[in-house]
Structure 1
Amino acid sequence: MDGRDLTMDRISDLPDSLITQILSLLTTKEAVCTCILSKRWTDLWTSVDTLDFDYRNFRYDNKRFLRFIHGVLSHRGFPPLEKFKLSWKFRSRSEHDTVEECINHVVACMPQVIYIITITHDFNFGLPDSLFNCGSVKEMSLFPCAKSITLKNASSLVTADFEISFDGLNELNLLQGLPNVTSLRLYATRHGLLDKDIPNCPILNNLKSLELGQLEMSYGWNLVACFLKHSPNLKKLVLNFGHSKLATQEAMLGNFTFRHEFLEIVEIRFKNESVETVNEVTATLGKLLLAVFCGIILLFSREKLYLFQFFLFGVVVSVALVI
């Protein structure tokens, strides 16, 4: 191998389609920076089917971040998108218009994957309606701060991950817009956010995996029962309970008296690690198993792991206790 071989630009010998695939693994800021390599690279980044905007890549300088987003969208135009990621911390109300413009632009590019995390203390902030009416998206993760979240028509959505933690949220209507979802994670850190949405959900025949949080021991089981009633083909259920004190077995189970024939795995995670909590949940497991007739139950907390098995209707049931 001579000196010329050592200095040869082998990457530039690759076809454009392969280079754009490599660029799609980078953040948008990193991909745009490749435009200075040569004339051939000047516009290659505009063919990348992924946009990844993260305010932390700009040392929390929102003005530079806003200018960058505007420049990228203006130069790129509207070719189809595979994935869109946005992480943004709002510092002033004037920035909301830029977010809405960005999301509306992206929705017009028909993305299949959307991941958005927004942080704001402005209770009047709302995500644009176009986001909740995007007919192309198959996978969506939203960690938004908004006054209302209403998913209107997302029949194409099969994987959904929603984490709601905004105290100013006054309307949450998600489940009616998820008729074909197969995997759903719904997490609300403010008590009562799930109460109105879950009982009104439609029959989710395609739902196979469900994670709920942050539930409360005093009433959480009734919400779970309601969800199971509307998810007849569910196979895996993950429950996250908060710090509240444990209720009696009767209160925990509520009307949880029907059998759920396809349910195979239940994971229960709780933050209250007292001996009383572990004993109470252990005593309740029998009733829970009778109610849902599942094959495997996993009960999680944090530190020590205990594993035991027993038979229920001829089925070997494994229980893992971490206390």
Structure 2
Amino acid sequence: MNDMVDWISRLPDDVLNHILSRLTAKEVVQTCILSKRWKNTWASVPVLNFQLGNFHNDCDWFGRFVDSVFQNRGQSCLRKVIYKGQFEDTSHGPSMEWLDCAAFLMPRIIIVYILSNVDAPLIIPDSVFSCESLEKLALCVQSVPVMTIIRPKSIALPCLQTLVLEHLSLDDDFAQKLLLGCPSLEGLRLEYCDLFISDISSNVLKKLIVRFCCQYQHMRICCPSLIILSIGSIKNSIRIISLEKLTSLVYAQIVLNGNEEMDVNDLPDAQLLSGLSNATSLTFFLRDPDLKEYWKKDITKCRTFKNLKSLEIKARHMINNFDLIACFLEHSPLLQKLTLKCLLKKENIIDAEQDVSFMAEHLETVDIHYPKDGKLPIKLMSMLDRCVKTFGNINISSVG
């Protein structure tokens, strides 16, 4: 019987590298024992995927492995680095010095996901913020109980297009350096961060997501090229976000939070909703009915949502918020589709006659969704019919 032919080993290096790029770093290094052909193949694979779980969550073993890979890799081209792990029951957090080695190899993508229970912040090397080849950077570093602060001496990332930051503390100095040092930055996502930022201004930014963050001061967002905006579940002070010059905006998603500790009458004038007047599609999640008068005043600051064609509103208290909904409709003359998603099976209704009545000449479809096992929203339909003189089809559905 003829010996079996090792067809895989006969593949060209670029094909082998493509295949090995789908494996974790540990699996790639283990291929060195297969044959002489494979002895050094791992050192040229363009993707390094480090997973702590592959090492039975042994932090020390994992750390030594990561260091060894970079020490023995040489200067071969590196395209992407992934580093993931949950570091628990250890006297020290993960060393981030490997990022210096990674940045030296000029990768296009660096992705870091870390959960550390060590009572000390992690230190992110400044070299990450001066890697000229970097096109995407994701730093999701959750250190409990101390939040990691990002304060590089300088930022020079000329090719960076996408930045994701989670569970980090960010201030104005960082924001200013970032927006000045990243002339190609088109996508920015901030989640679960402590924000001490007063200004996000960029002429190139096209997508901005700010969610689940704690905001500690009035923040101004001025991005003329912005196409997509998502602001949601901001703790402390979503009510003092000002939107300016969003002239290219197409879609926005906003979650409006209340704050039991803050008196609505003491709030500064809002410039959030009124800054969305150029959007063609809006989604709102209204959580607190007590803020409706405040938001109505904000809406009326813009004469009209002149481009708005699709409006989706999610609310726990849909009927109690209806005069706010009517205010949206009144200022959206070109609206074609309205979607109302009722989130409570039953709500305490504060009945009030609506004195708003207007034409909705372009409104073709109204979709009303209510919870499974909830009551048919007859009251809502009646109020909508009384408010809007003309509209097309009404679709009603129960969703689980």
TM-score over 0.5 (shorter chain):
yes
Supply the AA of the counterpart residue of 2:204: N
Which residue is equivalent to 1:88? 85
Identity of aligned residues (%): 24
Q: Is 1:160 equivalent to 2:166 in the alignment?
A: no
Give the 3 Å change call, closer, same or farther, for CA 234–129 of structure 1 in structure 2. Answer: farther
SS of equivalent to 1:212: strand
Q: 2:190 aligns with which of 186, 189, 194?
A: 186
TM-fit CA distance, 1:174: 4.2
Q: Is 1:255 equivalent to 2:258 in the alignment?
A: no
Which residue is equivalent to 1:236? 251
Q: Is 1:150 equivalent to 2:151 in the alignment?
A: yes
Provide the C-alpha distance between the structure 2 equivalents of 1:230 and 1:137, rounded to a whole number of angstroms.
29
Provide the C-alpha distance between the structure 1 equivalents of 2:251 and 2:43, rounded to a whole number of angstroms.
40
SS of equivalent to 1:153: coil
TM-fit CA distance, 1:136: 1.6
Provide the C-alpha distance between the structure 2 equivalents of 1:317 and 1:147, rounded to a whole number of angstroms.
44
Supply the AA of the counterpart residue of 1:17: D
Give the 3 Å change call, closer, same or farther, for CA 184–281 of structure 1 in structure 2. Answer: farther
Provide the C-alpha distance between the structure 2 equivalents of 1:74 and 1:162, rounded to a whole number of angstroms.
28
SS of equivalent to 1:106: helix
TM-fit CA distance, 1:238: 3.7
Q: Is 1:211 equivalent to 2:209 in the alignment?
A: yes
Give the 3 Å change call, closer, same or farther, for CA 210–257 of structure 1 in structure 2. Answer: closer
Give the 3 Å change call, closer, same or farther, for CA 241–150 of structure 1 in structure 2. Answer: farther
TM-fit CA distance, 1:18: 0.4
Report if the CA contact (8 A) 1:209-1:237 is conserved: no
Which residue is equivalent to 1:306? none
Give the 3 Å change call, closer, same or farther, for CA 110–37 of structure 1 in structure 2. Answer: same
Give the 3 Å change call, closer, same or farther, for CA 81–255 of structure 1 in structure 2. Answer: same
TM-fit CA distance, 1:36: 1.6
Supply the AA of the counterpart residue of 1:200: D
Provide the C-alpha distance between the structure 2 equivalents of 1:209 and 1:249, rounded to a whole number of angstroms.
33
SS of equivalent to 2:188: strand
> CA RMSD of the aligned region, Å?
3.9
Larger RCO (CA under 8 A, 6+ residues apart): 1
Provide the C-alpha distance between the structure 2 equivalents of 1:230 and 1:4, rounded to a whole number of angstroms.
73
Of the two, which has the highest radius of gyration?
A: 2
Provide the C-alpha distance between the structure 2 equivalents of 1:147 and 1:263, rounded to a whole number of angstroms.
35
Give the 3 Å change call, closer, same or farther, for CA 206–63 of structure 1 in structure 2. Answer: same
SS of equivalent to 1:150: coil
Give the 3 Å change call, closer, same or farther, for CA 162–234 of structure 1 in structure 2. Answer: farther
Matches of residues 88-107 of structure 1 in structure 2 within 5 Å? 88-90=85-87, 92=90, 96=94, 98-100=95-97, 102-107=98-103
Report if the CA contact (8 A) 1:186-1:213 is conserved: yes
Q: Is 1:201 equivalent to 2:197 in the alignment?
A: no
1:126-184 CA distance string (max 9 Å, x none): 2111112222211111112454213622332111111125xxx4757543313432122
SS of equivalent to 1:140: strand
TM-fit CA distance, 1:310: 6.0
Query: Number of aligned pairs?
Result: 299
Give the 3 Å change call, closer, same or farther, for CA 243–301 of structure 1 in structure 2. Answer: same
Q: Is 1:42 equivalent to 2:39 in the alignment?
A: yes
SS of equivalent to 1:237: strand
1:103-148 CA distance string (max 9 Å, x none): 0000001111111122223334321111122222111111124542
Which residue is equivalent to 2:126? 129
Report if the CA contact (8 A) 2:192-2:211 is conserved: yes
Q: 1:23 aligns with which of 20, 23, 44?
A: 20
Provide the C-alpha distance between the structure 1 equivalents of 2:75 and 2:246, rounded to a whole number of angstroms.
38
Report if the CA contact (8 A) 1:218-1:252 is conserved: no
Q: Please, which runs of 5 or more residues in structure 1 have no aligned partner?
A: 303-308
Supply the AA of the counterpart residue of 1:113: I
Report if the CA contact (8 A) 1:143-1:162 is conserved: yes
Provide the C-alpha distance between the structure 2 equivalents of 1:293 and 1:300, rounded to a whole number of angstroms.
22
Which residue is equivalent to 1:115? 111
Provide the C-alpha distance between the structure 1 equivalents of 2:43 and 2:301, rounded to a whole number of angstroms.
54
TM-fit CA distance, 1:294: 5.4
Provide the C-alpha distance between the structure 2 equivalents of 1:11 and 1:243, rounded to a whole number of angstroms.
60
Per the normalisation by structure 2, the TM-score is 0.62
SS of equivalent to 1:99: coil
Give the 3 Å change call, closer, same or farther, for CA 48–243 of structure 1 in structure 2. Answer: farther
Q: Give the stretch that moved more between structures: 233-242 or 209-218.
A: 233-242
1:222-280 CA distance string (max 9 Å, x none): 32x3xx4265534333445668559859959713475556533444457x5x8x48988
Supply the AA of the counterpart residue of 1:110: M
